[in-house]
Structure 1
Amino acid sequence: MTAQAKAKQTTYQAATNATEARELADFLVTAMSELLAVIEQETELVRAGKLREAMAFGTRKTELSRHYVAGVGRLKASQTFMQAQAPELLTTLHRHHDVFRAMLKVNLTVLATAHSISEKIVRGVNAEVQRRNVPSTYTANGRRATPSPRQMTPLAVSRTL
């Protein structure tokens, strides 16, 4: 079997009738709705600075993401059938997915902002620690000497909250 044929081969079972197509659409809408609910809760907690509580959603979010990816795999396998037999379901799924994508974008922006702020705080703390640990000396020209790497004290950060 060629590499191209293997790439086209899928492990997902395609919908073959209208009932299966409807069940697949319902499954995907439910998966996206449940995942959005978790993501919205996580976003609000991160915005409020409650990172520990937000991290508790990780397991549930992973589980729901797996369901969503499985549904998308089945949808891809059923694409030809659904375009021919159930175009209205595809239109509904596209609209729902557009909302889903917009909410994910908001969540990712909030998470990126929190990450950036956390990184700036850690860098600021590290700069202060280094400033206090380095001896204050001057060069022959009267300028402050820059510390050598041997004088730097590493800063250890626990990634668990």
Structure 2
Amino acid sequence: MAATGRILDERPRIAGAGEARMLVETVLESLAALAHLVGEETELVRAGRLPEAMTREPRKTELAGIYMRGVEQVKLNAVALARFAPEQVKRLKEAHHAFQGLIETNQIVLATARAVSESMIRDLAADANRPMRANGYGPTATVGAGVFARPNSGPLVVSRRL
């Protein structure tokens, strides 16, 4: 995975088969590293290990940038790549397509985690704001008629590890 560390800032023009293969292989390596990291993040979120999943964000951003720069180079050299390395281009397209599926799964898992979190917060807020009345009090009570208990103002506990 040494190529994933290469920053693809230059925009060289591909002049031969060796350069074409090297460019595609470099982009494939960065895509593989990014896919691995996104897969890890997805599994961590699925397991409810959100803080650990969040630690992957800086590296994911870095790998995504490397991959996108590589894709730009591939676009700039599309004609040469099709001529010099058609099989590698086919592999790159297949890998990119598989990565799109992985991203869709990741987005579904993240959306589910977000929905569950929002639901928990809504339920917690509803419980915290629900007035608590003793059965012996209130307009329909026979003992202490007209006296209401204070709304539930007890302590609120929230776990930051969810």
Q: TM-score, structure 1 length as denominator? A: 0.71
Three-state SS of the structure 1 residue aligned to 2:130 is helix
Aligned to 2:105: 106
State whether structure 2 residue 60 is matched by structure 1 residue 85.
no
Bigger Rg, which one: 2
CA distance in 2 between counterparts of 1:47 and 1:80 reads 41
CA distance in 2 between counterparts of 1:84 and 1:48 reads 45
CA distance in 1 between counterparts of 2:119 and 2:161 reads 18
Amino acid at match of 1:88: E
Aligned to 2:15: 16
Task: Give CA-to-partner distance per residue, 1:34-92, whole Å, 9 cap, x none.
Answer: 11111111111111111011111011111111111111111111112112332222111
Aligned to 1:55: 54
User: Which structure 2 residues correspond to residues 71-150 of structure 1 after superposition, within 5 A?
Assistant: 71-132=70-131
* Structure 2 residues without counterparts, runs of 5 or longer: 1-9, 133-137, 140-157
Task: Give CA-to-partner distance per residue, 1:95-115, whole Å, 9 cap, x none.
Answer: 111211111111111111111
CA distance in 1 between counterparts of 2:130 and 2:15 reads 68
TM-superposed CA distance for 1:30, in Å, is 0.5
Amino acid at match of 1:82: L
TM-superposed CA distance for 1:160, in Å, is 10
Runs of 4+ in 1 over 6 A off after TM superposition: none
CA distance in 2 between counterparts of 1:128 and 1:12 reads 59
Aligned to 1:153: none
Aligned to 1:25: 24
CA distance in 1 between counterparts of 2:126 and 2:84 reads 63
Question: What is the root-mean-square deviation of aligned Cα atoms in Å?
Answer: 2.5
Residues 130, 74 of structure 1: CA spacing in aligned structure 2 closer, same or farther, 3 A cutoff?
Answer: same
The structure with the greater share of residues assigned to helix is 1
